[in-house]
Amino acid sequence: MPSDSILTVVLPVRNVEAYLPDMLTSLARNVDPDFQLVVVDDGSDDATPRVIDEFADQFDNLSVIRHEVAVGLADARNAGVSVATGKYVTFLDGDDWIERDYLRRLVAAIERLDCDFVRVDHVQATGRDRVPHLAPEARRDVVLEPRSGILPATRRTMVDYPYAWAGIYRRDLGALLRFPSGLHTAEDRPWIWRLHQEATSYAVTSLAGVFYRRQVTNSLTQIGDSRQLHFLDAFAQVLDGVRREPELQPKAIRQFVAVLAHQIQTSERFSRPDRSIMRGRAREIFATLPPPVLTEALPWDARTELIEPLLPASVRRVRSVAS
C-alpha cells in the first residue's frame, strides 16, 4: 500500500445494494493515482459486498474492511480512518453520489487554504428534485478560527451543519477525527463540536459536489429503532465538552432542545419502553446543567413547551413566574 496518498476517502456502507453502484461509479470517475479509497462494509446482509467486488478493479488503491456484525457509523468511520494513508481525509456515505472532479477540487481547496479542515456546500436530491444547501458560514475562502463557527446561540452556525461528508480534514488532526465510539446516530454532533473547539484553523469554500439522497427508507434516521436514542448519548457528550466553557453552553443547550423536541414530536415511532427511556435520560441530562444557564438558554417557543415536563423543577418554576 503506497504511504504517500494525498487523499483518503472513507466510505462506510451498510445494506445499500441499490444505491452503492451510483456512489462507486461516481468515485471511479473521480479516481486519481494519489487517492486511497477505504470501504468499510458494516455488517451488510444484502448484496452490498458483491457490489463492492464488482467495482474493485476500478480503483488502484482500495482497501475493504468487513465487519461481520455492524458496529455503527461512528466506529465504521473510525475503522476507515485507522488504515488511512492520505495527507487528507474525507468521508462519504454509500447512498449518496459525487460530481465529476469533486475530490480533486476538494483537495485543491485545502491545499490552497492550508488549514486544518475545509467545509463545503452540498445538494440534496429527492428523486429528481434538487435543493442546494449552503454551509452556514457566509465568509468563503478565508481561513477562520474554528471557534468562530460555533456562536451565536440563536442562529444556525457551522455546528448545526455537522455532516462529516461535507468537508476535508487533515489526517494529522488525529484524535479530533475520531467519532464517539458506539454511536449509531448523531455521531457527528460531538465530533463537529470538538473539531470547532480544538482545531486551530478552518475555512469554507463554495463547492457543492456531494449529492445527498433524501428519503432512503432503510436509512436509520427514519426507523424508530432504539439506536435512535443514541442522540441522547451524543448530546450528553456535547454538553460535557462545554462544561468549562459557559459562553458555549447556551448554543449546545438550544441544539439539544431542538433535537429533543423533534424526537418527542415524532416519538410514535418509538416503542413505549424506549419513549420512557428517552424521557428519563433527557431529565438526567437537564439535571446536570446549571439551572440559571439552562433557564437563560431555553428558547421561548413551542420547542420548550414540548420538553417542559422534562426540565428540573427549579427551572420550570422560574419560567412559569417569568411568563
Partner 1 sequence: MTRVFYASTLFGAMSLAAALDAGTFGDRSGRCVLIASNNVAAPEVYDGFVTSPAFEPLRSRFDEVVDWNELIAPMHPSKWTPRAAEVPMLSRLIRQRMGLEDGIDELVLESIAVAPARTIGTLFAPSPITVYSDGLMSYGPTRDDLPSAIGRRTERLLHFDLVPSLTPLLLHENEIVSEVLSEASFTKIVGELPAPEVGDAAGCPVIIGQYLSQLGVLTPAEEISLHDDMLTGLVARGHRHVVFRPHPAAGRIHVRPLQESADRRGIRLTVAADGLPAEAWFAAARPDLVVSCFSTALATGARYFGTQVATVGTGLLLERLTPYENSNRIPATIVDATVPALRLDGTLVPPPVLDVAHLVRAVSYCMQPNRLFPLRDSAAAYVAANGPARYFKKRRLQAVGFLPTPTSRSVTARRVVRVGRRVIASAQR
The contacts of residue 161 (CB under 8 Å, 6+ apart) are 119, 135, 136, 192
Q: Does 208 bind partner 1 (CB under 8 A)?
A: yes
The piece of 129-137, 146-154, 229-237, 246-254 that touches partner 1 (CB under 8 A) is 129-137
Q: Binding partner 1 by CB under 8 A: which of 2, 25, 148, 308?
A: 25
Closest approach of partner 1 to the CB of residue 59, in Å: 15
The piece of 83-91, 122-130, 220-228, 282-290 that touches partner 1 (CB under 8 A) is 122-130
CA distances 55 to 25, 27, 48, 143, Å, are 8, 10, 11, 37
Helix (H), strand (E) at residue 65:
strand 62-67
Residues 210-239, one symbol each (x = binds partner 1 by CB under 8 A, - = not), give -x----------------------------
* b/e burial code for range 211-244 (CB count within 10 A of at least 16 → b): bbbeebeeeeeeebeebbbbbbbbbbbbbebbee
DSSP label at residue 116: S
Q: Does 104 bind partner 1 (CB under 8 A)?
A: no
The alpha-helical segments, DSSP class H, found in the chain are: 20-29, 48-55, 73-82, 102-113, 188-198, 230-241, 249-265, 272-287, 291-297, 302-307, 313-322
User: Please, are residues 269 and 294 in contact by the beta-carbon 8 Å criterion?
Assistant: no
Q: Does 132 bind partner 1 (CB under 8 A)?
A: yes
Closest approach of partner 1 to the CB of residue 15, in Å: 15
Residue found under cell 474493485: 56
The piece of 19-27, 143-151, 232-240, 251-259 that touches partner 1 (CB under 8 A) is 19-27
The residue among 87 and 133 lying less far from partner 1, judged by its C-beta, is: 133
The residue among 46 and 198 lying less far from partner 1, judged by its C-beta, is: 46
Q: Does 319 bind partner 1 (CB under 8 A)?
A: no
Type of residue found at 119: R
Residues 50-89, one symbol each (x = binds partner 1 by CB under 8 A, - = not), give xx--x-----------------------------------
Closest approach of partner 1 to the CB of residue 102, in Å: 9
Q: Does 270 bind partner 1 (CB under 8 A)?
A: no
Cell of 214: 433524501
Parallel, antiparallel, or unpaired: how do β-strands 202-205 and 62-67 relate?
Answer: unpaired
Closest approach of partner 1 to the CB of residue 223, in Å: 21
Type of residue found at 22: D
CA dist 147 and 304 (Å) reads: 27
Q: Does 99 bind partner 1 (CB under 8 A)?
A: yes
Q: Can you give the binding site for partner 1, defined by CB under 8 A?
A: 18, 21-22, 25-26, 29, 50-51, 54, 97-100, 123, 125, 127-130, 132, 208, 211
